[in-house]
Structure 1
Amino acid sequence: MNNSAIGAAVSMSSLQQRLDLIANNIANMDTDGYKRKEGSFEDVLTRVQQQSKEYDQPGRSMPLGFNMGFGVRVSKVTNDWEQGTLRETGKPTDLAIQGNGLFGVQVNGVTAYTRQGDFHFVPDTTTPNTMMLVDYSGNPVLNTQGNPVTVPNNVSAAIDERGRVLTKTSENAPVTVAGTLMIVEPNSKSTLQAVDGNFYVLPNGVTAQQAFVQRAAGTVSNIGVRSGYLERSNVDLGSEITEMMQLQRNYQLAARALSSSDQMLGLANNLRG
């Protein structure tokens, strides 16, 4: 296979990966807390091809060497962490984070992190007369100690802007703090690994102390919690469609280059035959 065919085939594969990312973004446009994914491209291999000395004629201004590439590939997939718009729901346990923060939840026994805050209380099957705060999939929402957030059955509960779970047994009863939601602030979002379900986990070998900002008790944070709101995804349909059209044109050009290369290779084989 000649160089033009290799470059076209490699580029088509990478363009298809980028198209898949755009399709995934569009599919999750209505997923609360979703952060759009984007791919970064880089050259697979570029080298300088030297021409014969016969081409070095008097008056020639161009150098003998020319660049030869072998297409591009998707070097990495990252998330765009731009804040999404807030949608008011009026439900006290619907929470939206403003700022660089993530909620902690327990997924299959592992601590995961998410921006999707559509939570609700359900009966705690392990403890009588107790309710547990869970996410949309039924995963327990964690407190700062890494335990599920629970409150007694006979109370009304709300969450304030600091993530504290406030409870009252009656309208005139005093407010009790039942705990504080786990809200972490990553040092760098690139350290988090995206997994299915709109969750993020720590990669192997990375600890929470390394990945998240460590603050002393009582330290003021710029992260706020809005109760009664959900954060929309930050996917812009118009931008995604525009980029998809551009990538489709690039894919068509690469496919045409591959077809032309195949035709030239066929002609060369016929000449030798």
Structure 2
Amino acid sequence: MIRALWTAASGMEAQQLNMDVIANNLANVNSSGFKKSRADFQDILYQTSKAAGTTATAGVEVPTGVQVGLGSRVASVQKVFTVGDMQGTDNELDLAIEGNGFFQVADTAGETLYTRAGALKKDSTGRLVTSEGFPLTPEIVIPQNATRVSIGQFGNVEVFLDGQSTPTQVGTIELARFSNPAGLSSMGRNLYAETTTSGTPEAGTPGDLGFGTISQGFLEGSNVSIMEEMVNMIAGQRAYEVNSKAIQTADEMLQMTNGLVR
């Protein structure tokens, strides 16, 4: 009976982590470029009382055996990199990637990080930077006398300078892609870092084979579905509830056993 207590407790613990994942998804429903996470579950050790295939009597084998599981656990929490809905903003520095790829930015230590959030700004020197002030890589600088910025679907950045009617190209946005984006390490602030399991980043121009294109004046919204997360929340709550009921039932059975009188 003690085994049932610990088995049900492992189920409650797994569902608690599942609820943490769902809560984080819902909290970021309005975060640009946010990618939802999903908890994957697996069963754990089994106690084998009788192995399948053992001999019961002469010439007779046990067909199935007796194995009792000891609960469940969360095997992984992975990011789901489906594309979110595109939201028009009419801001010339808001960019969305339609398809595969990440913007490349440099942090304060000079390390390259990756993001899908394209809400770019200009810093004091005219560089295109993220909301945290991290510049794009390769660096793109908008001249101070630029009156308008035009960013094409293939990443070419052109500006119209004051007094000029023809555009001047000041750079090209490059994207990076990974063979296993789910292996990226989430750094917060919509940033990801390369890991050994994500694979080596491959840089390329938007529109190249395997890379998405750029949409100016749009932001990629979160790929979180409120309806789906609410259903997952209800299912997780019920699973937590039924595991707690299993603990209660096991406790009552132990209480009955302890109350037996010779």
Query: TM-score under structure 2 normalisation?
Result: 0.86
CA distance in 2, matches of 1:69, 1:40: 18
State whether residues 100 and 210 of structure 2, in contact with CA within 8 Å, keep that contact through their aligned partners in structure 1: no
Indicate yes or no: 2:223 matched with 1:241: no
Tell me by how many angstroms 1:149 deviates. Answer: 2.3
Give percent identity, aligned residues only.
Answer: 29
CA distance in 1, matches of 2:209, 2:46: 50
- Cα offsets for 1:57-107 (capped at 9, x unmatched): 9xxxx8573221111111111111111111110111000001111111123
Tell me by how many angstroms 1:224 deviates. Answer: 0.1
1:169 maps to: 161
1:137 maps to: 132
Indicate yes or no: 2:26 matched with 1:26: yes
Q: 2:145 aligns with which of 146, 154, 157?
A: 154
SS at match of 1:184: strand
Indicate yes or no: 2:6 matched with 1:3: no
CA distance in 2, matches of 1:171, 1:38: 53
SS at match of 1:117: coil
CA distance in 2, matches of 1:188, 1:100: 12
SS at match of 2:112: strand
Count of matched residue pairs: 253
Tell me by how many angstroms 1:198 deviates. Answer: 1.5
Tell me by how many angstroms 1:261 deviates. Answer: 2.0
State whether residues 33 and 233 of structure 1, in contact with CA within 8 Å, keep that contact through their aligned partners in structure 2: yes
In the TM superposition, 1:44-193 aligns within 5 A as 44-50=44-50, 65-109=65-109, 110-124=111-125, 131-143=126-138, 148-156=139-147, 157-170=149-162, 172-193=164-185
CA distance in 1, matches of 2:137, 2:67: 55
1:128 maps to: none
State whether residues 34 and 221 of structure 2, in contact with CA within 8 Å, keep that contact through their aligned partners in structure 1: yes
Q: 2:240 aligns with which of 247, 251, 264?
A: 251
1:39 maps to: 39
State whether residues 188 and 211 of structure 1, in contact with CA within 8 Å, keep that contact through their aligned partners in structure 2: no
- Cα offsets for 1:221-253 (capped at 9, x unmatched): 541000000011111111110111011111001
SS at match of 2:222: coil
State whether residues 40 and 77 of structure 2, in contact with CA within 8 Å, keep that contact through their aligned partners in structure 1: yes
Tell me by how many angstroms 1:271 deviates. Answer: 4.7
5+ residue gaps, structure 2: none
CA distance in 2, matches of 1:183, 1:233: 19
CA distance in 2, matches of 1:234, 1:214: 24
State whether residues 112 and 199 of structure 1, in contact with CA within 8 Å, keep that contact through their aligned partners in structure 2: yes
Tell me by how many angstroms 1:267 deviates. Answer: 4.1
5+ residue gaps, structure 1: 125-130
1:127 maps to: none
Tell me by how many angstroms 1:193 deviates. Answer: 1.2
SS at match of 2:117: coil
Indicate yes or no: 2:219 matched with 1:230: yes
State whether residues 174 and 204 of structure 2, in contact with CA within 8 Å, keep that contact through their aligned partners in structure 1: no
Tell me by how many angstroms 1:15 deviates. Answer: 0.6
RMSD between aligned alpha carbons?
A: 2.9
SS at match of 1:150: coil
Tell me by how many angstroms 1:49 deviates. Answer: 2.3
CA distance in 2, matches of 1:154, 1:14: 57
